Amino acid sequence: AGALFASETQLVMYGGTTGDSDGLSMPSERQVLRYQLPEGGKEQGKWDLFDLPTGLHRYVSNGASVNVMEEKMGFVFSGLRGKNWSETRHMSRPAYNPTTLSNRLLTLDLSTSARWLNETIPSSIPLRYDARMVWVPRGKKGSLVVIGGVINGVEWRELNAVKGTVTEEDVEESEPTVEGFMTEVAVYDVEAKKWYMQKTNGVAPPALSQHCAVTVNAGELSNIYVLGGRRGLQTTDAFNPNVYVLTLPSFTWALVKEGTPDYARISHTC
């Protein structure tokens, strides 16, 4: 899974994995796809490939991303990458497996042409993949809130099992960390460029990955709605049918809808 960012005049695609075929003509490691409308919007737009800045690669998948139209910005948090930032492909040969957690926060500025900022996530913020991230209007340029995600989960284990490195101890080690992603969320102040961990109140959802999250702002409050997802550590993990809300600034969880099985799903958007 990659990310799609938009402004009034352009779309930018970043990350994700391509098919595992040596016969395909792949973009270079530093090229991403963009769609641009000309000034005035009277002519048809066009697709092109444009270069990422030095030190930034397109080989990141399953990161938490958010598009912020109000600020003409986009963000990608963590996710999976190949060893040594090498090429990755979907369900591929071991050499192309995205099995390493990315320690990067990528910022895309779409106010003029596409400009990127590549920052290292501090060690105090747990890396993960299949999390969800939202933007809330708190602070001069708002804040990012990262909810859920997984490490050593189903997808990672299926990819990495080729090397025989996955054990039950890996799973047991991951469980308390994954549960904690719902009771303590990562927050990033965009203006100050500062991260911190924020404990939540109320009855938190179970550990979730591959869920969806969306923000509804009402005056001084920001309500982050979360639907679906699963723990993601075992293939037998049940899908979540319930809807939860995390209310800011108190960071209080509430269960607002007990869903039926047909509500349960993963890898969707809100």
Distance CA 131, CA 153 (A): 12
What pLDDT sits at residue 263?
Answer: 85
Nearest of 108, 116, 36 to residue 68 by alpha carbon: 108
Residue 220 in tokens: 């001084």
Distance CA 207, CA 169 (A): 18
Nearest of 105, 91, 110 to residue 36 by alpha carbon: 110
Q: What predicted TM-score, i.e. pTM, was given to this entire model? A: 0.90
Q: Which residues of 45-68 are buried (b: 16+ CB within 10 A; e: fewer)?
A: eeeeeeebeeebbbbbbbbbbbbb
CB-neighbour burial class of residue 199 (10 A; exposed 0-12, middle 13-18, buried 19+)? exposed
CA-to-CA dists, residue 187 to 27, 135, 144, 153, 215, angstroms: 33, 10, 6, 23, 14
CA-to-CA dists, residue 128 to 47, 76, 103, 198, angstroms: 32, 12, 9, 17
Q: Which residues contact 43 (CB under 8 A, 6 or more apart)?
A: 37
Before 94, cis peptide (omega within 30)? Answer: no
What pLDDT sits at residue 165?
Answer: 55
Which residues are paired to 122 by β-bridges? none
What pLDDT sits at residue 78?
Answer: 96
- One of 2.60.120.560, 2.60.120.10, 2.60.40.10, 2.40.128.190 is the CATH number of 122-270, namely 2.40.128.190
Which residues are paired to 34 by β-bridges? 12, 48
List strand residue ranges (DSSP E) for 148-211, in order.
Answer: 184-189, 194-199, 201-202
pLDDT in tens, the chain (270 residues): 789 999 988 899 988 877 777 777 777 778 888 898 887 667 788 898 888 888 888 888 899 999 999 999 999 999 998 887 777 777 667 777 777 899 999 999 998 777 899 999 999 999 999 999 999 999 899 999 999 999 877 666 666 555 555 567 767 777 778 889 999 999 999 999 999 999 999 999 999 999 999 999 998 999 999 999 998 887 778 899 999 999 999 999 999 999 898 889 998 999
Half-sphere exposure of 193 (CA within 13 A, CB side): 8
Which residues are paired to 146 by β-bridges? 133, 186
- List the chain domain ranges: 1-118, 122-270
Q: Are 224 and 136 in contact (CB under 8 A)?
A: yes
* 3-class secondary structure, 123: coil
Distance CA 64, CA 117 (A): 16
Task: Kindly report the number of other CB atoms within 10 A of residue 117's CB atom.
Answer: 14
